[in-house]
Chains A and B, each alone.
Chain A
Amino acid sequence: MKDSENNNSQHPIWWGEFTLPQHTMGRWHIGPLELWVQHLAGEWRLAWQSGEELMQPVTSVELNLPIRPLNQDMQVCRFSFRETSKPLRLLPTLADRAVVVRPEMPLFIPSGEEVTLFVSTTLWVSVYAGQHSPMLVEMPTLRPSDTWFGPNTRQGELCYASRTLAHTQVEDVTPRPHRAITPVQIRNHAHEPLRLERLSVPVPLLTLYQNQVGDFWTQPVLLERSGRDGQARLQLGNARLPDGMNARQIGVPRQLDDEVSMFRALSRFFG
């Protein structure tokens, strides 16, 4: 394991580059996800399955294990290569769709006020057969349920539903090895209070970071409800991670958007 940098995390680092000799296998437990990677002659064979999300999630990395027959319940993929000597690379990524999250109960943000909500979303694992190789496969550490976010069943967007709630205090969000925390700052510039029942967090636009203790954080989001009727502004550039956080960037957002600030219909973010 090359990328085993020292950190103070209670969980071992499950991502980075890993050297798996031929005819051996590696096994990763990343929260609810169990991933097996077998290095055969000219072939990478991957198998995975997700279990239940536990309060105390397990994270472990076991390498150089003898090849075992794959479990029938697992999802399996095989990839053939002329050369398989490059180290295997695992990367955490954010969800490929926006994630809808609810506060504990509907929250009103009065005119001129602002609040920061902390949202925890499930991570995906992308597997690469080397530094500059194309991605082999990616899988969610726990498949979130689908949900619809829009004013009606004709207009809207297909999203993932978060199993956890949005909290106003960061202490209420437990960092987990398979989840990333997104601070969402909401400002209400309108004259009426903003009723917040559901919130759509555009995670495919966000950059993922890992702090010094190994917790995953994303680029913060600033959502401003403008005075104009039915409009909200999403800003990604100006928001900052919590003070004192020494975080390093992991990868790039799934969707690169040149606009750091964009106006959208209010119903695109708030429900």
Chain B
Amino acid sequence: MHHQLSHFYEVLISATTLAWGRAILIVILGFLVAQLVARVVGRLAVRHMDAHRGMLARRLIFYGLFLIAVLLALRQVSHDISNIFLGAAGILTVAVGFASQTSASNLISGLFLIGEKSFSIGDTISIGTTSGEVLSIDLLSVKLRTFDNLLVRVPNESLVKSEITNLTRFPIRRIDIQISVGEKEDLARVREVLMEVADQNPAALIEPRPEVRFSAFGESSFDLQFCVWTRRENYVATRNSLAEDVIRAFRKHDIELPYPYRALTTGSLSEPFPIRVVNDKQDMTGK
């Protein structure tokens, strides 16, 4: 009797070990297969859809296949996996209860962002004071690479609430350069010189036409806005080259780039300012 019982236990233990071994093997194989299939789908997706949708499809396939593998593995160790699910669901409910407030908000915001298509992977966007290239749009956050090569994680919830500027959505951009010229300058001549500067710069688009807009009567200048269109890829380079060209052209045509100045007058009724001529050498030596 005792011998039969120990034999039964041995069989039971070996069967359980075998089942766990199979389960672990299924999980490992499932992980590898899911990764392989996701990678293949990702490569195919690159040809047929944008990078963002491709990444989403890849992740969905990976997690879907991996979940199936886990379920199959659980079936190996327990014939009735509904008990496991009930237990897991209980734990999940508590966890979700605590975490859902922020995460669910981010998750839903992420879905809105994906649906809205305001930007996609590879675009350069600006949110508040942060600007950078979009590296990934995940379910909870968007990762940006700033121009000084830092990774910034922006939660989707704050993205939905903030104003986002997509700097690379359209193929051309306008460069606005604020320019002040001396009050004695002829604005028509200044306009002519600026238009010539734009015309001579090959990166400045001929159409839409460049413009010189009058902004304001400054304290000691006329303030103008020089608007020039360029390709979005050339934005920074053209802005820099235009600034150099403007300075060069103004110097060539004797157009004053004024410094702020104050004119002091004594008024018509007061005495003129007294002027005292001082010998510098005497002052320095104290003589």
The chain A residues found within 8 Å of chain B, CB to CB, are 100, 143-149, 153-154, 156, 158, 161, 198, 271
Complex CA gap A63/B207 in Å reads 41
Complex CA gap A100/B206 in Å reads 10
* Chain A to chain B contacts (Cβ below 8 Å), 18 pairs: A100-B207, A145-B199, A145-B202, A145-B205, A145-B206, A146-B230, A147-B206, A148-B205, A148-B208, A148-B229, A149-B207, A153-B170, A156-B171, A158-B171, A158-B172, A158-B231, A161-B207, A198-B207
- What is the minimal beta-carbon distance from B138 to any residue of chain A, in angstroms? 29
- What is the minimal beta-carbon distance from B266 to any residue of chain A, in angstroms? 54
Q: In the complex, which residue of chain B has the Cβ closest to the Cβ of A146?
A: B205
Which of B172, B199, B201, B206 contacts A153, CB < 8 Å? B172
Q: In the complex, which residue of chain B has the Cβ closest to the Cβ of A162?
A: B206
Contact of B113 with A by CB under 8 A: no
Q: Is the interface of B mostly helix, strand, loop or mixed?
A: loop
Contact of B61 with A by CB under 8 A: no
Using Cβ atoms and an 8 Å threshold, which residues of chain B touch A143? 202
**Structural contact, A153 and B203, CB atoms closer than 8 A:** no
Using Cβ atoms and an 8 Å threshold, which residues of chain A touch B170? 153-154
Across the A-B interface, give the 8 residue pairs with the lowest CB-CB distance, nearest first. Answer: A161-B206, A147-B206, A143-B202, A147-B207, A145-B202, A145-B206, A146-B205, A148-B207
Q: In the complex, which residue of chain B has the Cβ closest to the Cβ of A140?
A: B202
- What is the minimal beta-carbon distance from B25 to any residue of chain A, in angstroms? 52
**Structural contact, B202 and A148, CB atoms closer than 8 A:** no
Chain B window 190-217, contacts with chain A (Cβ cutoff 8 Å), 1 for yes, 0 for no: 0000000001011111111000000000
Give the interface residue-count category, chain B: 10 to 19
Complex CA gap A104/B103 in Å reads 64
Q: In the complex, which residue of chain A has the Cβ closest to the Cβ of B207?
A: A147
Using Cβ atoms and an 8 Å threshold, which residues of chain A touch B199? 145
10 new A-B contacts, CB < 8 A, other than A145-B205, A146-B202, A148-B207, are A144-B202, A145-B202, A145-B204, A146-B203, A146-B205, A146-B206, A146-B230, A153-B208, A158-B171, A158-B172
Complex CA gap A153/B230 in Å reads 11
- By CB atoms of chain B within 10 A, which of A147, A158, A161 has the most? A147
Using Cβ atoms and an 8 Å threshold, which residues of chain B touch A147? 205-207
Complex CA gap A148/B171 in Å reads 10
Complex CA gap A153/B232 in Å reads 12
Q: In the complex, which residue of chain A has the Cβ closest to the Cβ of B199?
A: A145
- By CB atoms of chain B within 10 A, which of A143, A146, A148 has the most? A146
The chain B residues found within 8 Å of chain A, CB to CB, are 170-172, 199, 201-208, 229-231
Using Cβ atoms and an 8 Å threshold, which residues of chain B touch A148? 171-172, 205, 207-208, 229
Using Cβ atoms and an 8 Å threshold, which residues of chain A touch B231? 146, 158
- By CB atoms of chain B within 10 A, which of A144, A148, A149 has the most? A148
Complex CA gap A158/B202 in Å reads 13
Complex CA gap A209/B205 in Å reads 30
Complex CA gap A198/B209 in Å reads 14
Using Cβ atoms and an 8 Å threshold, which residues of chain A touch B230? 146
- What is the minimal beta-carbon distance from B262 to any residue of chain A, in angstroms? 43
Using Cβ atoms and an 8 Å threshold, which residues of chain A touch B205? 145-148
Using Cβ atoms and an 8 Å threshold, which residues of chain A touch B202? 143-146
- What is the minimal beta-carbon distance from A106 to any residue of chain B, in angstroms? 15
Complex CA gap A149/B205 in Å reads 10
Using Cβ atoms and an 8 Å threshold, which residues of chain A touch B201? 145
Q: In the complex, which residue of chain A has the Cβ closest to the Cβ of B173?
A: A153
Using Cβ atoms and an 8 Å threshold, which residues of chain B touch A271? 207
- What is the minimal beta-carbon distance from A13 to any residue of chain B, in angstroms? 28
- What is the minimal beta-carbon distance from B169 to any residue of chain A, in angstroms? 8
- What is the minimal beta-carbon distance from B271 to any residue of chain A, in angstroms? 59
Using Cβ atoms and an 8 Å threshold, which residues of chain A touch B172? 148, 153, 158
Q: In the complex, which residue of chain B has the Cβ closest to the Cβ of A271?
A: B207
- What is the minimal beta-carbon distance from B195 to any residue of chain A, in angstroms? 13
- By CB atoms of chain B within 10 A, which of A100, A144, A145, A154 has the most? A145
Using Cβ atoms and an 8 Å threshold, which residues of chain A touch B203? 146
- What is the minimal beta-carbon distance from A140 to any residue of chain B, in angstroms? 9
Complex CA gap A198/B171 in Å reads 20
Complex CA gap A198/B207 in Å reads 11
Complex CA gap A143/B229 in Å reads 17
- What is the minimal beta-carbon distance from B206 to any residue of chain A, in angstroms? 4
Q: In the complex, which residue of chain A has the Cβ closest to the Cβ of B201?
A: A145
Complex CA gap A147/B202 in Å reads 9
- What is the minimal beta-carbon distance from A200 to any residue of chain B, in angstroms? 11
Using Cβ atoms and an 8 Å threshold, which residues of chain B touch A145? 199, 201-202, 204-206
Using Cβ atoms and an 8 Å threshold, which residues of chain A touch B204? 145-146
Using Cβ atoms and an 8 Å threshold, which residues of chain B touch A161? 206-207
- What is the minimal beta-carbon distance from B99 to any residue of chain A, in angstroms? 41
Complex CA gap A53/B229 in Å reads 24
Complex CA gap A226/B197 in Å reads 40
Complex CA gap A144/B205 in Å reads 10
